[in-house]
Structure 1
Amino acid sequence: MKHHVLVLDDEADVRAAIRLQLKGTRFEILEAENVDQAIDMLDDNPISIDVIICDVRMPGKSGVEAVAYFQREYPTTPVIVLTGFPDVTLAVDFMKKKDVVDYLTKPVAKDKLIAAVEQAAQGRKLFE
Protein backbone atom coordinates (compact mmCIF):
# COMPACT_ATOMS: atom_id res chain seq x y z
CA MET A 1 0.00 0.00 0.00
CA LYS A 2 1.35 3.42 -0.99
CA HIS A 3 1.39 6.23 1.51
CA HIS A 4 1.35 9.86 0.45
CA VAL A 5 3.89 12.43 1.56
CA LEU A 6 3.36 16.12 0.84
CA VAL A 7 6.67 17.93 0.41
CA LEU A 8 6.37 21.69 0.91
CA ASP A 9 9.54 23.53 -0.10
CA ASP A 10 10.08 26.57 -2.31
CA GLU A 11 13.21 25.02 -3.85
CA ALA A 12 12.52 22.62 -6.74
CA ASP A 13 15.94 20.98 -6.22
CA VAL A 14 15.08 20.09 -2.63
CA ARG A 15 11.71 18.62 -3.63
CA ALA A 16 13.44 16.60 -6.37
CA ALA A 17 16.09 15.33 -3.92
CA ILE A 18 13.44 14.19 -1.45
CA ARG A 19 11.50 12.50 -4.25
CA LEU A 20 14.68 10.64 -5.30
CA GLN A 21 15.55 9.68 -1.73
CA LEU A 22 12.09 8.20 -1.17
CA LYS A 23 11.94 6.51 -4.58
CA GLY A 24 11.46 2.78 -4.25
CA THR A 25 9.89 3.09 -0.81
CA ARG A 26 6.20 2.79 0.00
CA PHE A 27 5.83 6.57 -0.20
CA GLU A 28 4.38 8.51 -3.10
CA ILE A 29 5.41 12.17 -3.21
CA LEU A 30 3.15 15.15 -3.79
CA GLU A 31 4.89 18.52 -4.11
CA ALA A 32 4.00 22.11 -3.26
CA GLU A 33 6.26 25.12 -3.78
CA ASN A 34 4.47 27.44 -1.35
CA VAL A 35 2.11 27.34 1.60
CA ASP A 36 -0.99 28.36 -0.35
CA GLN A 37 -0.39 25.60 -2.91
CA ALA A 38 0.03 23.04 -0.10
CA ILE A 39 -3.17 24.18 1.60
CA ASP A 40 -5.06 23.96 -1.70
CA MET A 41 -3.71 20.43 -2.26
CA LEU A 42 -4.78 19.33 1.21
CA ASP A 43 -8.20 20.97 1.04
CA ASP A 44 -9.01 19.86 -2.53
CA ASN A 45 -7.34 16.46 -2.67
CA PRO A 46 -9.34 13.33 -1.92
CA ILE A 47 -6.07 11.44 -1.38
CA SER A 48 -5.16 11.06 2.25
CA ILE A 49 -1.83 12.68 3.08
CA ASP A 50 0.04 10.52 5.58
CA VAL A 51 3.01 12.82 6.31
CA ILE A 52 3.88 16.44 5.56
CA ILE A 53 7.51 17.53 5.12
CA CYS A 54 7.71 21.30 5.49
CA ASP A 55 10.49 23.84 4.95
CA VAL A 56 10.66 26.76 7.41
CA ARG A 57 11.97 29.70 5.37
CA MET A 58 9.93 30.38 2.27
CA PRO A 59 8.75 33.52 0.48
CA GLY A 60 5.26 34.63 1.44
CA LYS A 61 3.83 32.56 4.27
CA SER A 62 6.49 30.86 6.35
CA GLY A 63 6.80 27.26 7.36
CA VAL A 64 5.97 28.27 10.92
CA GLU A 65 2.59 29.59 9.70
CA ALA A 66 2.13 26.44 7.61
CA VAL A 67 2.81 24.12 10.55
CA ALA A 68 0.32 26.04 12.70
CA TYR A 69 -2.31 25.68 9.95
CA PHE A 70 -1.60 21.96 9.46
CA GLN A 71 -1.87 21.30 13.19
CA ARG A 72 -5.14 23.22 13.44
CA GLU A 73 -6.83 21.85 10.30
CA TYR A 74 -5.17 18.41 9.97
CA PRO A 75 -4.21 17.45 13.54
CA THR A 76 -3.89 13.74 12.73
CA THR A 77 -1.30 14.29 9.98
CA PRO A 78 2.29 14.27 11.26
CA VAL A 79 4.62 17.08 10.18
CA ILE A 80 8.39 16.85 9.71
CA VAL A 81 10.28 20.14 9.48
CA LEU A 82 13.21 20.14 7.06
CA THR A 83 15.28 23.32 7.09
CA GLY A 84 18.51 24.66 5.67
CA PHE A 85 18.77 27.18 8.51
CA PRO A 86 18.83 25.27 11.80
CA ASP A 87 17.50 27.26 14.73
CA VAL A 88 17.77 25.55 18.10
CA THR A 89 15.15 27.79 19.71
CA LEU A 90 12.66 27.13 16.92
CA ALA A 91 13.37 23.38 16.99
CA VAL A 92 12.83 23.21 20.74
CA ASP A 93 9.62 25.27 20.41
CA PHE A 94 8.26 22.97 17.69
CA MET A 95 9.10 19.84 19.65
CA LYS A 96 7.78 21.15 23.00
CA LYS A 97 4.40 21.99 21.52
CA LYS A 98 4.38 18.68 19.64
CA ASP A 99 3.75 20.63 16.44
CA VAL A 100 6.25 18.46 14.60
CA VAL A 101 7.36 14.85 14.93
CA ASP A 102 10.90 15.52 13.70
CA TYR A 103 13.17 18.47 12.89
CA LEU A 104 15.77 17.72 10.21
CA THR A 105 18.43 19.90 8.62
CA LYS A 106 19.32 20.06 4.92
CA PRO A 107 20.96 18.20 3.41
CA VAL A 108 19.52 15.18 5.15
CA ALA A 109 20.96 11.71 4.68
CA LYS A 110 18.71 9.31 2.79
CA ASP A 111 18.53 6.75 5.60
CA LYS A 112 17.68 9.44 8.17
CA LEU A 113 14.92 10.87 5.95
CA ILE A 114 13.40 7.45 5.26
CA ALA A 115 13.49 6.56 8.97
CA ALA A 116 11.83 9.86 9.93
CA VAL A 117 9.07 9.47 7.33
CA GLU A 118 8.50 5.81 8.28
CA GLN A 119 8.26 6.71 11.97
CA ALA A 120 5.90 9.62 11.24
CA ALA A 121 3.64 7.47 9.05
CA GLN A 122 3.49 4.70 11.65
CA GLY A 123 2.70 7.18 14.39
CA ARG A 124 -0.07 8.91 12.45
CA LYS A 125 -3.03 9.43 14.71
CA LEU A 126 -6.13 7.98 13.10
CA PHE A 127 -8.43 9.51 15.67
CA GLU A 128 -7.92 12.67 17.63
Structure 2
Amino acid sequence: MSNAAAPLSILIVEDVAAVRDAIALILSDAGHRIQTAENGEQAEVWLRDPAQNFDVVVTDLWMPGVDGLQLLARWRAARPQTRFVVVSGGSRSMPLEVSTAAAEARGADAVVFKPFEPEELLAAISP
Protein backbone atom coordinates (compact mmCIF):
# COMPACT_ATOMS: atom_id res chain seq x y z
CA MET A 1 0.00 0.00 0.00
CA SER A 2 1.29 3.45 -0.75
CA ASN A 3 0.07 6.87 0.09
CA ALA A 4 0.78 9.75 -2.29
CA ALA A 5 0.21 12.38 0.41
CA ALA A 6 2.87 13.42 2.90
CA PRO A 7 3.30 11.04 5.83
CA LEU A 8 1.19 11.84 8.86
CA SER A 9 2.08 11.56 12.53
CA ILE A 10 -0.59 9.28 14.01
CA LEU A 11 -1.40 8.20 17.57
CA ILE A 12 -3.32 4.92 17.76
CA VAL A 13 -5.30 4.31 20.95
CA GLU A 14 -6.64 0.76 21.21
CA ASP A 15 -6.84 -1.60 24.17
CA VAL A 16 -6.85 -4.82 22.10
CA ALA A 17 -3.26 -5.53 21.07
CA ALA A 18 -4.14 -7.44 17.89
CA VAL A 19 -6.38 -4.61 16.65
CA ARG A 20 -3.83 -1.96 17.64
CA ASP A 21 -1.09 -3.86 15.79
CA ALA A 22 -3.30 -4.30 12.69
CA ILE A 23 -4.13 -0.58 12.57
CA ALA A 24 -0.44 0.29 13.07
CA LEU A 25 0.57 -2.06 10.24
CA ILE A 26 -1.97 -0.60 7.81
CA LEU A 27 -0.93 2.96 8.58
CA SER A 28 2.83 2.35 8.71
CA ASP A 29 2.68 0.42 5.42
CA ALA A 30 1.07 3.55 3.96
CA GLY A 31 4.16 5.50 5.07
CA HIS A 32 2.81 7.20 8.19
CA ARG A 33 4.69 7.70 11.47
CA ILE A 34 2.98 5.75 14.23
CA GLN A 35 2.85 5.96 18.01
CA THR A 36 0.60 3.68 20.04
CA ALA A 37 -1.19 3.73 23.37
CA GLU A 38 -2.95 0.81 25.08
CA ASN A 39 -5.61 3.02 26.64
CA GLY A 40 -6.86 6.55 27.08
CA GLU A 41 -4.58 7.23 30.04
CA GLN A 42 -1.47 6.44 27.97
CA ALA A 43 -2.83 8.52 25.10
CA GLU A 44 -3.23 11.50 27.40
CA VAL A 45 0.48 11.29 28.32
CA TRP A 46 1.33 11.65 24.61
CA LEU A 47 -1.25 14.40 24.08
CA ARG A 48 0.03 16.42 27.07
CA ASP A 49 3.53 16.47 25.57
CA PRO A 50 3.85 19.76 23.65
CA ALA A 51 6.63 18.24 21.56
CA GLN A 52 4.18 15.72 20.10
CA ASN A 53 2.24 17.18 17.20
CA PHE A 54 -0.05 14.44 16.00
CA ASP A 55 -1.87 15.00 12.74
CA VAL A 56 -4.37 12.27 13.59
CA VAL A 57 -5.52 10.37 16.66
CA VAL A 58 -7.17 7.04 15.83
CA THR A 59 -9.00 5.87 18.94
CA ASP A 60 -11.15 2.94 19.88
CA LEU A 61 -14.45 4.08 21.31
CA TRP A 62 -14.98 1.55 24.10
CA MET A 63 -12.00 0.98 26.39
CA PRO A 64 -11.66 0.53 30.15
CA GLY A 65 -10.71 3.66 32.08
CA VAL A 66 -10.60 6.72 29.83
CA ASP A 67 -12.59 5.66 26.75
CA GLY A 68 -12.62 7.20 23.29
CA LEU A 69 -15.56 9.47 24.05
CA GLN A 70 -13.79 10.90 27.11
CA LEU A 71 -10.56 11.28 25.15
CA LEU A 72 -12.41 13.20 22.44
CA ALA A 73 -14.20 15.41 24.95
CA ARG A 74 -10.96 16.23 26.77
CA TRP A 75 -8.69 16.82 23.79
CA ARG A 76 -10.80 18.11 20.90
CA ALA A 77 -10.56 21.74 22.04
CA ALA A 78 -6.91 21.44 23.12
CA ARG A 79 -5.87 19.94 19.77
CA PRO A 80 -8.12 21.68 17.22
CA GLN A 81 -5.70 21.00 14.33
CA THR A 82 -5.67 17.24 15.03
CA ARG A 83 -8.08 14.93 13.22
CA PHE A 84 -9.81 12.48 15.55
CA VAL A 85 -10.91 9.21 13.96
CA VAL A 86 -12.98 6.85 16.07
CA VAL A 87 -12.86 3.11 15.40
CA SER A 88 -15.71 1.14 16.92
CA GLY A 89 -17.33 -2.24 16.84
CA GLY A 90 -20.21 -0.90 18.90
CA SER A 91 -21.07 -2.26 22.30
CA ARG A 92 -23.75 -4.44 23.82
CA SER A 93 -25.43 -1.40 25.33
CA MET A 94 -25.02 1.08 22.47
CA PRO A 95 -25.98 0.46 18.81
CA LEU A 96 -23.58 1.65 16.10
CA GLU A 97 -25.82 4.60 15.16
CA VAL A 98 -25.75 5.87 18.73
CA SER A 99 -21.97 5.31 18.92
CA THR A 100 -21.55 7.38 15.77
CA ALA A 101 -23.75 10.20 17.05
CA ALA A 102 -21.95 10.25 20.41
CA ALA A 103 -18.52 10.37 18.74
CA GLU A 104 -19.54 13.09 16.29
CA ALA A 105 -21.12 15.15 19.09
CA ARG A 106 -17.74 15.15 20.86
CA GLY A 107 -15.85 16.24 17.77
CA ALA A 108 -14.86 13.10 15.87
CA ASP A 109 -13.88 13.87 12.29
CA ALA A 110 -14.71 10.35 11.14
CA VAL A 111 -16.03 7.05 12.49
CA VAL A 112 -14.88 3.69 11.10
CA PHE A 113 -16.62 0.46 12.09
CA LYS A 114 -14.85 -2.81 12.85
CA PRO A 115 -14.24 -4.88 10.88
CA PHE A 116 -13.04 -2.44 8.23
CA GLU A 117 -11.02 -2.57 5.04
CA PRO A 118 -7.61 -0.85 5.03
CA GLU A 119 -8.90 1.60 2.41
CA GLU A 120 -11.69 2.75 4.76
CA LEU A 121 -9.18 3.57 7.49
CA LEU A 122 -6.83 5.33 5.08
CA ALA A 123 -9.70 7.43 3.72
CA ALA A 124 -10.81 8.35 7.26
CA ILE A 125 -7.40 9.69 8.29
CA SER A 126 -7.08 11.89 5.21
CA PRO A 127 -7.86 15.57 5.65
Q: Which residue of 2 aligns with 1:91?
A: 100
Q: For 1:45 and 1:34, locate their aligned partners in 2 and report how far apart those are by CA, in whole Å.
A: 19
Q: For 2:28 and 2:71, locate their aligned partners in 1 and report how far apart those are by CA, in whole Å.
A: 25
Corresponding letter in the other structure for 2:97: V
Corresponding letter in the other structure for 1:88: E
Alignment RMSD (CA, Å): 1.7
Tell me how far 1:90 sits from its aligned partner: 2.8
Q: Which residue of 2 aligns with 1:29?
A: 34
Q: For 2:58 and 2:50, locate their aligned partners in 1 and report how far apart those are by CA, in whole Å.
A: 17
Q: For 2:60 and 2:77, locate their aligned partners in 1 and report how far apart those are by CA, in whole Å.
A: 18
Note the residue ranges of structure 2 that are not aligned, 5 or more in a row: 1-5
Tell me which stretches of 4 or more aligned residues in structure 1 moved more than 3 Å: none
1:62 to 22, 46, 67: 67
Note the residue ranges of structure 1 that are not aligned, 5 or more in a row: 123-128
Give the number of the structure with larger relative contact order, counting CA–CA contacts within 8 Å between residues 6 or more apart: 1
In the alignment, is the contact (CA less than 8 A) between 2:41 and 2:65 conserved in 1?
Answer: no
Q: Kindly indicate which of the two structures has a greater share of residues assigned to helix.
A: 1
Q: For 2:40 and 2:83, locate their aligned partners in 1 and report how far apart those are by CA, in whole Å.
A: 16
Change (3 A) 1:108 1:43: same
Report SS of the residue matched to 1:107.
coil
